[in-house]
Amino acid sequence: MHLKTLSLVNYKSFDSADFEMDKKINCFVGNNGVGKTNVLDAIYHLAFAKSYFNPITVQNIKHHTDFFMINGLFHKNDRDENVVVSAKRGSKRMLKRNGKEYEKISDHIGLLPLVIISPADRDLIIEGSETRRRFLDGVISLDNATYLQRLITYNKLLTQRNALLKYFAANHKFDSDAIAVYDEQMVVLGALIHKSRQEFLDRFTPIFQKFYARISRNAIEKVSIHYKSDFNDKLPEAAFKAAMQKDLQVQYSTTGTHKDDLLFSLDGYPVKKYGSQGQQKSFLTALKLAQFEFIKNESGTVPLLLLDDIFDKLDESRVSQLIEMVNDEHFGQIFISDTNPDRTEMVIKNVNQSYKMFEL
């Protein structure tokens, strides 16, 4: 799979722009603020119908304009796929594939597998559990539509259950039958979601550890990912019952798979607290490359790889190691943003692949 052409209208910093891509490596270079990252984000937007950096759709419309449009022509499985994402102030976003609008955005997820490595990935380490769950769910959902639908249904039930808890508090009443309607469904879905996440991590973690060893040049430290969940030690039904009194007090659901987390560790200690800056960068890069390989293996399609500002954020040794891996046929089409055209071209020339440089 590869992106052939990309057109932008009123997207973030762009009035309009058109790009004809190389099948292998595409570099977007220029000073800060010229829109390099915005091009990569537009490609991400086509794959996931949302921005990687700002998921609030209307905020991606260029200032003082009323709409944006992103148009991408992809080639996949011996046929062209034209994908268009657009949004207008005061209206919902629109996603079309080959001229036909999707009824459900979720039906699009997985068509265009993509992995981005960005300085913003540090949020996976420093932010709360929601960020890590979003990463976890995003990887699983790309090739598992059933999991995605279960997740959507579970989250709708969660919203409704929380609203009911607030209603109970406001009206000083409790209806066990009403809350049971939600609990019964969330117990079933929660158990299935928990099982899928655990099975995923059992397969994903060894891939991640392999990439960490390569990037860190076989450093002696050991990295691991631990799945933290209320359902690890309790059956879902028992967990919900045990939390009921607390739920009524705080007026929201305190247990369930919406509270799951991933614990990242280095030699048994939290990477967030004890990992050096270099170790954290290696950890995150390995995490994303493992995501790439997992998606490739599961879907049978080589994902697009987006490297945002990667040369500024990794030291020379790690960049060299990353480029060596990128030079492998294991990778497909790659998009790179950087502030230094000469540095980028010097590195890319050492890669035995075709490339294009776009100066913005």
Farthest CA pair distance, the chain? 70
Per-residue pLDDT of the chain (360 residues; tens, 9 = 90+): 999 999 999 999 999 999 999 999 999 999 988 999 999 999 999 999 999 999 899 999 999 999 999 999 999 999 999 999 999 999 999 999 999 999 999 999 999 999 999 989 999 999 999 999 999 999 999 889 999 999 999 999 999 999 999 999 999 999 999 999 999 999 999 999 999 999 999 999 999 999 999 888 767 889 999 999 999 989 999 999 999 999 999 999 999 999 999 999 999 999 999 998 888 988 999 999 999 999 999 989 999 999 998 776 666 666 666 776 766 667 899 999 999 888 888 888 877 788 999 999
φ and ψ of 177, to 5 deg? -65, -40
pLDDT at 316: 60
- Assess contact for 115 and 304: CB atoms under 8 A: yes
DSSP 304-342: EEEEESHHHHS-HHHHHHHHHHHTSTT---EEEEES-HH
- Assess contact for 41 and 12: CB atoms under 8 A: yes
Name 169's Cβ contacts closer than 8 Å, sequence gap at least 6.
248, 251
How many Cβ atoms sit within 10 Å of the Cβ of residue 335? 26
- Assess contact for 36 and 336: CB atoms under 8 A: no
Whole-angstrom CA distances from 151 to 134, 138, 141 are 11, 11, 9
Task: Say how far apart CA 236 and CA 255 lie, in whole Å.
Answer: 9
